[in-house]
C-alpha cells in the first residue's frame, strides 16, 4: 500500500517522522506492507519515506516574508501533483502546511476522489479563522480529520468534518527526554550554573526579525547574571554560521549545538523562544519561557486590519488553555526590555516560577494521553481501501 504524506518546515518534518515510525509499527502488527512517498525533510527520510521534495527549509509566516518561497513551493507542488497523477497512492495524509496542502487536497477531491484524504494537525483555523473559506475547503476534501487539540476538534466538528481527537504528538515525543540531572551531566553543566536556552529561529525570516532582540536581551541578562551560560539548539545546520557570528557580535557566552535539543531543554532554567511548537516542548519539560514574535511591519498592518484583534494568543501553551500562562510579546511589544523583565522575574521569583509549573500541569491535561502517534496511525490505516 502506498501512502503519500505532505508537510513543510522543520516542525512538519519532525511530526511526519514520528507518524511514519508509528505507521510502520502499526502496519507490521496487521501484516501490511507500506511504501511512503512524501514532501518533507531529512527526519522523514530517516524514518523511511521516499522524498519527492525537501520542504523543511521552505517556510515563512506572513505575506511579505513568504514572497521568496512562492516559486520553490509551487515547483514542489507541481512535482507532487504530477506524481499523484502518474501513480495515485492508496491514501493521502496532509500535515499542517496550509496553502500547499489545501492545493493538494483540492486536487485530490477534483481528480482522484476515490483516494481517501486524512488531515493530521490541521492548520490553526480554530485559533485565528477570519472567514470560513479555507475551513470549508479543508472540510470539503478531508475524509477524516485527526485533531491534536480539543478546541480544534470542536471547531472542525461544528463545521461538518469527520473528526477524531487523538491528542498532541509531542506527548509521545517527550517520553524519552532525559531528566534535568542527566541532561546537565551530558552537556557538562554544573549544578549551580544558570542555563538559558535561546531559540531565535526555525525559519530564515526569524534570523532577521527575532535574533537581534533576543540576543540584545541575552546580552543584558549576561551583564546582570555573570554565572549565566546560553545554549542555542539549531533547527537547521544552515543557520549555524549566522547564529555563531551573532553570538560573537553580541559577546555572549553561548554554545551552539545541532541535534541535542531535548538535552538542552531538559537542562535549562529558562528559555527565550520564538513562538511555535517548540513552546509546547518546553512546557512539557517544565521549562519556564518567554515567547516573542515579530513580522514585517507590512504583514503586521495587514493582519491587524483583517484579524481586528481576534488573535487572543500566539504561543501554543496559551492557546491550549486560552489564558496567558507564558509571557508572550508580539510585534511592538517584542522589545529587549520586555524580554529582560519577564526573564528575570521567571529566574528570580520562586512564586512566579511555581505558578508557571502549575499552569503547565493544567495545559498538559488538554494534550491527551501517551500513544498519540499510534492512535493516529491506526485511524489512518483504517482508511486504506482494503482495511476499512
Beta bridge partners of 117: 92
The model's pLDDT over 218-263, given as tens digits with 9 standing for 90+, comes to: 999 999 999 999 999 998 888 899 999 999 999 999 999 998 999 9
Q: Look at residues 249, 272, 367, 244 and name the one whose alpha carbon lies nearest to residue 329.
A: 272
Asked if pLDDT for residue 310 goes beyond 60, the answer is no
pLDDT in tens, 318-338: 988 889 999 999 888 889 999
Confidence (pTM): 0.83
List, for residues 75-130, the tens digit of each pLDDT value. 787 888 888 899 999 999 999 988 889 999 999 999 999 999 999 999 887 776 66
For residue 334, what is its C-alpha cell?
Answer: 517584542
Q: How confident is the prediction for the chain on average, in pLDDT? A: 89
Query: Hey, what's the cell of 14?
Result: 519532525
Using an 8 Å Cβ cutoff, are 144 and 116 in contact? yes
* Separation of alpha carbons 280 and 173, rounded Å: 11
Average pLDDT value for residue range 204-212: 83
Residues 6+ away with beta carbon under 8 Å from 344: 221, 224
DSSP of 178-244, one letter per residue? PPHHHHHHHHT--TTSEEEEEE--SSHHHHHHTHHHHHHHHHHHHHH-TTEEEEEEESSGGGHHHHH
**336 phi/psi in degrees, rounded to 5:** -55, -40
Q: Which neighbouring-strand residues pair with 229?
A: 195
Q: What is the H or E stretch that residue 74 is in? A: helix 70-86
Query: How far is 250 from 304, CA to CA, in rounded Å?
Result: 33
Residue 290 three-state SS? strand
3-state secondary structure of 293: strand
Give the residue carrying C-alpha cell 488538554.
366
Q: Would you state the cell numbers that stand for residue 279, as one nine-digit string? A: 513552546
**pLDDT for the residue numbered 383:** 96
Amino acid at each position: 500500500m502506498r501512502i503519500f504524506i505532505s508537510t513543510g518546515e522543520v516542525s512538519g518534518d519532525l511530526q511526519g517522522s514520528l507518524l511514519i515510525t508509528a505507521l510502520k509499527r502499526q502496519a507490521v502488527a496487521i501484516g501490511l506492507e507500506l511504501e511512503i512517498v512524501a514532501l518533507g525533510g531529512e527526519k522523514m527520510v530517516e524514518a523511511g519515506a521516499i522524498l519527492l521534495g525537501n520542504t523543511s527549509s521552505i517556510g515563512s509566516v506572513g505575506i511579505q516574508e513568504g514572497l521568496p518561497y512562492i516559486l520553490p513551493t509551487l515547483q514542489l507542488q507541481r512535482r507532487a501533483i504530477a506524481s499523484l497523477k502518474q501513480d495515485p497512492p492508496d491514501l493521502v495524509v496532509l500535515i499542517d502546511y496550509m496553502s500547499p496542502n489545501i492545493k493538494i487536497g483540492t486536487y485530490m477531491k477534483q481528480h482522484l476522489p476515490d483516494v481517501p484524504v486524512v488531515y493530521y494537525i490541521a492548520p490553526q483555523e480554530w485559533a485565528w479563522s477570519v472567514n470560513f473559506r479555507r475551513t470549508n475547503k479543508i472540510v470539503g476534501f478531508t475524509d477524516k480529520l485527526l485533531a491534536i487539540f480539543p478546541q480544534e476538534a470542536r471547531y472542525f466538528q461544528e463545521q461538518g468534518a469527520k473528526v477524531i481527537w487523538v491528542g498532541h504528538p509531542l506527548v509521545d515525543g517527550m517520553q524519552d527526554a532525559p531528566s534535568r540531572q542527566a541532561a546537565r551531566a551530558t552537556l557538562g553543566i554544573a549544578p549551580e550554573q544558570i542555563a538559558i536556552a535561546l531559540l531565535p529561529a526555525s525559519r530564515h525570516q526569524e534570523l532577521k526579525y527575532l535574533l537581534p532582540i533576543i540576543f540584545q536581551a541575552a546580552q543584558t541578562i549576561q551583564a546582570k547574571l555573570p554565572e549565566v551560560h546560553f545554549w542555542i539548539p539549531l533547527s537547521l545546520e544552515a543557520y549555524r554560521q549566522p547564529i555563531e557570528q551573532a553570538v560573537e557580535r553580541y559577546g555572549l557566552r553561548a554554545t551552539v549545538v545541532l541535534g541535542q535539543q531535548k538535552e538542552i531543554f531538559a537542562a535549562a532554567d529558562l528559555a527565550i523562544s520564538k513562538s511555535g511548537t517548540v513552546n509546547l516542548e518546553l512546557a512539557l519539560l517544565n521549562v519556564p519561557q518567554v515567547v516573542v514574535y515579530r513580522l514585517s511591519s507590512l504583514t503586521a498592518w495587514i493582519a491587524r486590519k483583517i484579524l481586528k484583534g481576534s488573535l487572543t494568543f500566539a504561543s501554543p501553551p496559551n492557546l491550549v488553555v486560552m489564558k496567558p500562562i507564558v509571557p508572550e510579546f508580539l510585534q511592538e511589544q517584542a522589545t529587549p526590555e520586555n524580554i529582560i523583565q519577564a526573564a528575570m522575574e521567571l529566574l528570580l521569583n520562586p512564586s512566579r516560577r511555581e505558578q508557571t509549573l502549575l499552569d503547565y500541569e493544567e495545559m498538559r491535561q488538554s494534550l491527551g494521553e501517551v500513544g498519540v502517534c499510534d492512535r493516529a496511525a491506526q485511524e489512518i490505516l483504517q482508511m486504506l481501501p482494503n482495511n476499512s
